[in-house]
């Protein structure tokens, strides 16, 4: 027996690895199937389109309406799929969550039915003339074009993404999760179906089952997963973390805006499975992780320069970004005050309040992961990608063991790489 909320590797074969997060905390069971690929210009848009097309229908349930009607029969089961990136991995996820069987009066194995449905969606797509249904592909390409074009509508997130993309313009991380408009132009239903066949056969699959399942249910999932016909899996490359900064980039984009968006991108030179990473977690919290942070207290509260300001880590690529919304005329002053906060930490000028409040904030955030099956699965997937075997409680304990001197030491490794600013045309220098 293994501990509640901790993950156990059940089996691995043919590039498919099955994990079980055994927990009785939730009234639901969830099954998450992740395909991993290297992030490339060639495949990014195709990989992003595959879950969008597959969710439109399968052989048994060939339309969205058919799927919805069947899902309703499964006592409010929820199903979704999508794509994201973690470092230079592109992650394609298929997810289903259903009520735990012990809460159903009828003699029905709902978890088995949910798993069978998810496998139908992934392995038995609707086809015409031996490939994907053309109507579905055309419609999903149009939707993805609008999604990519619509990035700019959320200026805060757009500025963060663009800063990181400019930092990594010649690295795989610089590729957008959904690829590009240019790549979408060359995709048709035949090409996409051929890519899908390679996708199913060669991409490493990581399957996380979470909940209070019976051993025979786990065995059923394992047996049917390993029936998928597979070829030799591709090699997933490790992201390059330590990248020298020769010169700080300054990137300006203009829009019809009244508020400037300032993002500063940094290289942390810290690997996600290094013990130093726990120092970095605390460093980030002290710098810009909440209302107790140096950035919030000094840039926003004391100087009144920012509508919002925070810092966040990109764990798998060794990056950090500081994001703020400011008056356009205050750009230089804001950068100056931000740099002063960075220097204060390097010098070890961290108060006991900042130190303790940052640790408490991290502890609260990590503990909240246990309240969501999706977050718990994402936590353990992230640990697996990072080649770490820490549980949430272990992360909290390791952060508690980080000293103020440790934070100052890790601060000295961090290098500014890129300054990205959104302004309006009238105020471009």
The per-residue pLDDT for range 39-67, each reduced to its tens digit, is: 999 999 999 999 999 999 999 999 999 99
Residue ranges per structural domain of the chain: 7-225, 249-427
Q: What confidence score (pLDDT) does residue 1 get? A: 40
pLDDT in tens, 227-266: 999 997 899 999 999 998 999 999 999 999 999 999 999 9
Domains 7-225 and 249-427 alike in fold: yes
Is the confidence at residue 101, as pLDDT, over 90?
no
Is the confidence at residue 106, as pLDDT, over 80?
no
Is the confidence at residue 419, as pLDDT, over 70?
yes
Mean pLDDT score, 194-208: 96
Is the confidence at residue 2, as pLDDT, over 60?
no
Is the confidence at residue 429, as pLDDT, over 70?
no
Is the confidence at residue 117, as pLDDT, over 90?
yes
What pTM, to 2 d.p., does this model score? 0.94
3-state secondary structure the chain: CCCCCCEEEEEEECCEEEEEEECCCCCEEEEEEEEEEECCCCCHHHHHHHHHHHCCCECCCCCHHHHHHHHHHCCCCEEEEEEEEECCEEEEEEEEEEECHHHCCCCCCHHHHHHHHHHHHHHCECEECCEECHHHHHHHHHHHHHHHHHHHHCHHHHHHHHHHHHHCCCCHHHCCCCCCHHHHCCCCHHHHHHHHHHHHHHCCEEEEEEECCCHHHHHHHHHHHCCCCCCCCCCCCCCCCCCCCCCCEEEEEECCCCEEEEEEEEECCCCCCCCCHHHHHHHHHHHHCCCCCHHHHHHHHHCCCEEEEEEEEECCCCEEEEEEEEEHHHHHHHHHHHHHHHHHHHCCCCCHHHHHHHHHHHHHHHHHHCCCHHHHHHHHHHHHHCCCCCCHHHHHHHHHCCCHHHHHHHHCCCEEEEEEEEECHHHCC
Q: What confidence score (pLDDT) does residue 5 get? A: 65
Q: What confidence score (pLDDT) does residue 107 get? A: 78
Domain 7-225 has CATH 3.30.830.10: yes
Q: What is the CATH number of domain 249-427?
A: 3.30.830.10
Is the confidence at residue 23, as pLDDT, over 80?
yes
Is the confidence at residue 379, as pLDDT, over 90?
yes
């Amino acid at each position: 027996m293994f501990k509640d909320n901790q993950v156990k590797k059940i089996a691995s074969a043919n590039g498919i690895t099955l994990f079980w997060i055994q927990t009785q905390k939730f009234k639901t069971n969830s099954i998450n199937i992740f395909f991993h690929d290297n992030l490339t210009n060639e495949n990014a848009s195709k990989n992003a389109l595959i879950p969008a097309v597959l969710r439109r229908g399968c052989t048994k349930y060939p339309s969205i309406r058919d799927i919805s009607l069947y899902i309703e029969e499964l006592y409010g089961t929820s199903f979704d799929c999508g794509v994201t990136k973690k470092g230079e991995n592109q992650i394609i996820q298929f997810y289903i969550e259903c009520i735990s069987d012990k809460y159903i009066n009828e003699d029905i194995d709902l978890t088995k039915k949910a798993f069978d449905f998810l496998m139908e969606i992934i392995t038995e797509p609707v086809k015409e003339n031996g490939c994907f249904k053309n109507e579905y592909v055309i419609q999903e390409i149009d939707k993805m074009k609008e999604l990519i074009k619509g990035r700019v509508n959320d200026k805060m997130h757009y500025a963060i993404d663009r800063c990181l993309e400019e930092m990594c313009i010649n690295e795989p991380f610089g590729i957008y999760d959904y690829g590009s408009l240019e790549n979408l132009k060359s995709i048709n239903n035949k090409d996409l179906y051929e890519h899908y066949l390679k996708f199913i056969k060669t991409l490493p699959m990581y399957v996380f089952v979470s909940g209070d399942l019976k051993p025979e249910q786990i065995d059923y999932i394992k047996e049917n997963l390993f029936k998928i016909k597979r070829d030799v899996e591709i090699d997933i490359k490790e992201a390059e973390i330590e990248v020298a900064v020769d010169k700080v980039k300054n990137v300006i984009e203009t829009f019809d805006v009244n508020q400037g968006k300032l993002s500063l991108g940094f290289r942390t030179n810290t690997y996600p499975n290094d013990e130093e990473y726990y120092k970095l977690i605390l460093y980030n919290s002290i710098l810009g992780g909440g209302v107790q942070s140096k950035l919030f207290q000094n840039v926003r509260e004391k100087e009144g320069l920012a509508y919002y300001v925070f810092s966040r880590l990109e764990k798998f690529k060794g990056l950090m970004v500081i994001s703020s919304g400011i008056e356009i005329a205050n750009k230089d002053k804001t950068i100056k005050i931000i740099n002063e906060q960075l220097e204060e930490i390097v010098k070890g000028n961290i108060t006991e309040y900042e130190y303790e409040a940052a640790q408490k904030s991290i502890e609260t955030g990590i503990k909240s992961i246990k309240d969501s099956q999706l977050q718990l699965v994402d936590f353990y997937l992230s640990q697996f990608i990072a080649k770490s075997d820490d549980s949430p409680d272990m992360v909290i304990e390791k952060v508690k063991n980080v000293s103020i001197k440790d934070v100052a030491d890790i601060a000295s490794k961090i290098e500014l790489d890129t300054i990205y600013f959104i302004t309006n045309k009238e105020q471009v220098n």
